[in-house]
C-alpha cells in the first residue's frame, strides 16, 4: 500500500471527505483520521509525510496532538488549521513548533503549496538522517559495505536478517565484485566476531595441499609433514570459514567437506581422532554452481548444502550510483597509506567514472583510486577515463543536471519495481511531473517491473 504523504486529522466527516478528494486530485496520498489518538498509532520516525490537523477538536486538540507528534519525531512537519482571525492560536502554534498554520476558509492553491514545501523539508530531514546513520556505520571498526543503490539495498535486505543465524551462505558474483568484503562484514557484524574469520582461496592452493590446508595433519602423515598442523576448518571453530572460488575444490575433497558440514566434525590427516567443530561456512563463487552440478563438475549434494542462502552480488556496472562514494572512500584509504593529500574528483570526472563499465568491478575501482592518489588526474587518463572526463567537463550545467536527474529517476523506478505511485512518493513529485520527466528521458515503467 502507498504510504500517505499527508495525515489529515479533523473531527468533521464532511471536511475529511472534501480534503481527501482535494489532495487526491493533486497526487498527494492522504490518510484521514477523526481524532488525534487514531492518527498517532500510524505515526513514527519513519513517517515520510506531513501532518495537517484542525486546532479545535474534542478531546485532544491540535496543539496537544502536535506535542505528542514532536515527542515521536520533532522533524515531522505539523500544519495547524485555525479559525479565521485567531491570531493568538496561530502564534502559540508556531512558538510550540508548528511548521506553519493556515486560516479557514483557506485558499486551495496556498494549502497545496504549503504541503509540498513541508513534504520537501521532511524528505530532506529523512535523507540527512539516513546519511548521518551511514556515516556512523562507516566510522565503526571492521569491514563496511558501502553503497545505497537499489541493487545494494536488496543485498543488505537479504544479508542483515541472517547475520546471527549460523546458516551456510553462498555468495555469487563476478571477480572483484566484493564477495570477500561481504563475507568479512557478515562475520564482523555477527555474534561470531570475537572468534576467527578464516579465509582460503580454493583456486589458489595446489590440489595436493588443499586437503591438508583445510583439515590439518599429524606429524608424519605424509612426506614433508614434520610437525602437527591445525587445519583451516578447526582454526575457524566458533567463527567463520570463508571458501572463495569454491568451484575449484577437487571432487574428492568435496565429499569430505560435505561430511564436515553435516556432522560438524573434522579429522586431521593421519589421525583417528574426530574433533567437533562449530563453524559457519560462507562460500563464494563466480560460476553458476547449479549448472556445474548438473554437468557433473560439482557435487549436487554439496551444492544444496552450501546453497541454504544465496546472495547475488551485483557488478559495479549495475550499481553506478555507488561509484562516487566508493571512489572517495578508497581515495581516503590510499591517501592515509601513502601519506598523500586526498583531492576530490570534480563533477566531470565523477560523471566519467559512472559512464564506464568496470569489468574488474570494485577491485578495479580501488586500484584506480590508489593510482589517482599517487599520480593525480593523469591516472584517469591512463585508465581511459581522462577523455571521458574531458568530454564530461565540456558539458553544460543543464546537460549534467539532466544526467543526474535521469539516474535518480531510474534508481527510484527500479527500487519501486515500476510503480508510479511509489516512485512519486520516493521522489516527492507529482504524477504529471514524473510522467513528463520519464518521457523526456525515454523511460518506460514496464522496463522496471519484475
Average pLDDT over residues 35-58: 91
pLDDT, position 385: 45
Q: Encode pLDDT of 85-103 as tens digits.
A: 667 777 888 888 889 888 8
Q: Encode pLDDT of 12-33 as tens digits.
A: 999 999 999 999 998 899 999 9
Q: Which residues pair with 78 in a beta bridge?
A: 51
Please, how many CA atoms are within 13 Å of residue 88, restricted to the half-sphere of its CB?
Answer: 0
pTM: 0.57
**Higher per-residue pLDDT: 119 or 3:** 119
Mean per-residue pLDDT of the chain: 86
Indicate the length of the chain as a whole number. Answer: 450
Least confidently predicted of 244-258, 285-299, 386-400: 386-400
**Higher per-residue pLDDT: 107 or 343:** 107
Q: Is the pLDDT of residue 392 over 60?
A: no
pLDDT, position 398: 65
Q: Is the pLDDT of residue 388 over 50?
A: no
Average pLDDT over residues 321-338: 85
| Grid cell digits, residue 94 | 508556531
Q: Encode pLDDT of 303-314 as tens digits.
A: 999 999 999 999
Strands 6-9 and 30-33, bridge-based pairing: parallel
Q: How far is CA 343 from the centre of its chain?
A: 26
Sign of the dihedral through C-alpha 45, 46, 49, 52: negative
Name residue, grid cell 521522489. 427
pLDDT interval class at 246 (50, 70, 90): very high
pLDDT, position 66: 93
Phi-psi region of 309 (alpha: psi -120 to 50; beta: other; left: phi over 0): beta
The most distant pair of C-alpha atoms in the chain lies apart, rounded to whole Å, by: 98
Q: Encode pLDDT of 189-217 as tens digits.
A: 999 999 999 999 999 998 888 999 999 99
Sign of the dihedral through C-alpha 244, 245, 250, 252: positive
**Higher per-residue pLDDT: 332 or 49:** 49
pLDDT, position 256: 94
pLDDT interval class at 359 (50, 70, 90): very high
Q: Is the pLDDT of residue 347 over 80?
A: no
Q: Is the pLDDT of residue 285 over 70?
A: yes
Q: Encode pLDDT of 436-446 as tens digits.
A: 888 888 887 87
Q: How far is CA 95 from CA 10, 88, 99, 217, in A?
A: 22, 11, 10, 75
Assess contact for 187 and 240: CB atoms under 8 A.
yes
d(CA 11, CA 191): 50
Average pLDDT over residues 36-57: 92
Average pLDDT over residues 172-176: 95
pLDDT, position 393: 39
Q: How far is CA 251 from CA 267, 392, 434, in A?
A: 18, 51, 54
**Higher per-residue pLDDT: 184 or 224:** 184
Q: In terms of C-beta density within 10 A (0-12 exposed, 13-18 middle, 19 or more buried), how is residue 296 classed?
A: exposed
**Higher per-residue pLDDT: 407 or 251:** 251
Q: Give percent above pLDDT 90 in the chain.
A: 50
pLDDT, position 213: 92
pLDDT, position 386: 39
Q: How far is CA 169 from CA 280, 311, 337, in A?
A: 9, 7, 33
Amino acid at each position: 500500500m502507498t504510504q500517505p504523504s499527508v495525515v489529515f486529522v479533523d473531527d468533521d466527516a464532511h471536511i475529511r471527505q472534501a480534503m481527501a478528494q482535494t489532495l487526491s486530485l493533486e497526487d498527494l496520498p492522504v490518510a484521514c483520521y477523526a481524532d488525534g489518538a487514531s492518527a498517532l498509532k500510524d505515526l513514527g520516525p519513519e513517517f515520510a509525510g506531513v501532518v495537517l490537523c484542525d486546532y479545535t477538536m474534542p478531546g485532544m486538540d491540535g496543539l496537544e496532538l502536535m506535542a505528542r507528534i514532536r515527542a515521536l519525531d520533532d522533524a515531522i512537519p505539523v500544519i495547524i488549521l485555525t479559525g479565521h482571525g485567531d491570531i493568538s492560536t496561530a502564534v502559540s502554534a508556531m512558538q510550540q513548533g508548528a511548521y506553519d498554520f493556515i486560516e479557514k476558509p483557506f485558499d486551495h492553491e496556498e494549502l497545496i503549496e504549503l504541503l509540498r514545501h513541508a513534504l520537501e523539508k521532511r524528505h530532506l530531514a529523512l535523507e540527512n538522517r539516513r546519511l548521518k546513520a551511514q556515516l556512523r556505520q562507516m566510522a565503526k571498526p571492521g569491514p563496511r559495505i558501502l553503497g545505497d543503490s537499489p541493487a545494494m539495498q536488496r543485498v543488505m535486505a537479504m544479508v542483515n536478517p541472517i547475520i546471527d543465524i549460523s546458516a551456510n551462505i553462498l555468495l555469487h558474483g563476478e571477480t572483484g565484485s566484493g564477495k570477500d568484503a561481504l563475507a568479512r562484514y557478515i562475520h564482523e557484524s555477527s555474534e561470531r566476531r570475537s572468534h576467527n574469520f578464516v579465509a582460503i582461496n580454493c583456486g589458489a592452493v595446489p590440489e595436493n595441499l588443499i586437503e591438508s590446508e583445510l583439515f590439518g595433519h599429524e606429524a608424519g602423515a605424509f612426506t614433508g609433514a614434520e610437525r602437527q598442523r591445525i587445519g583451516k576448518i578447526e582454526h575457524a571453530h566458533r567463527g567463520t570459514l570463508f571458501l572463495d572460488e569454491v568451484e575449484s575444490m577437487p571432487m574428492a575433497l568435496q565429499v569430505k567437506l560435505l561430511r564436515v558440514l553435516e556432522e560438524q566434525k573434522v579429522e586431521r590427516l593421519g589421525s583417528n581422532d574426530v574433533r567437533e567443530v562449530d563453524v559457519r561456512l560462507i562460500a563464494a563463487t563466480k560460476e553458476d554452481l547449479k549448472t556445474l552440478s548438473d554437468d557433473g563438475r560439482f557435487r549436487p549434494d554439496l551444492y544444496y548444502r552450501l546453497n541454504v542462502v544465496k546472495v547475488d552480488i551485483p557488478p559495479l556496472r549495475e550499481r553506478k550510483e555507488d561509484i562516487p562514494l566508493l571512489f572517495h572512500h578508497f581515495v581516503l584509504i590510499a591517501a592515509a597509506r601513502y601519506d598523500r593529500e586526498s583531492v576530490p574528483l570534480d563533477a566531470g570526472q565523477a560523471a566519467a567514472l559512472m559512464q564506464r563499465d568496470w569489468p574488474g568491478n570494485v577491485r578495479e575501482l580501488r586500484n584506480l583510486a590508489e593510482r589517482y592518489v599517487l599520480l593525480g588526474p593523469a591516472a584517469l587518463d591512463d585508465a581511459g577515463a581522462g577523455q571521458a572526463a574531458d568530454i564530461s567537463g565540456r558539458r553544460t550545467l543543464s546537460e549534467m543536471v539532466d544526467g543526474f536527474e535521469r539516474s535518480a529517476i531510474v534508481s527510484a523506478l527500479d527500487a519501486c519495481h515500476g510503480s508510479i505511485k511509489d516512485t512519486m512518493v520516493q521522489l516527492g513529485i507529482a504524477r504529471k511531473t514524473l510522467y513528463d520527466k520519464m518521457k523526456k528521458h525515454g523511460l518506460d515503467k514496464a522496463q522496471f517491473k519484475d
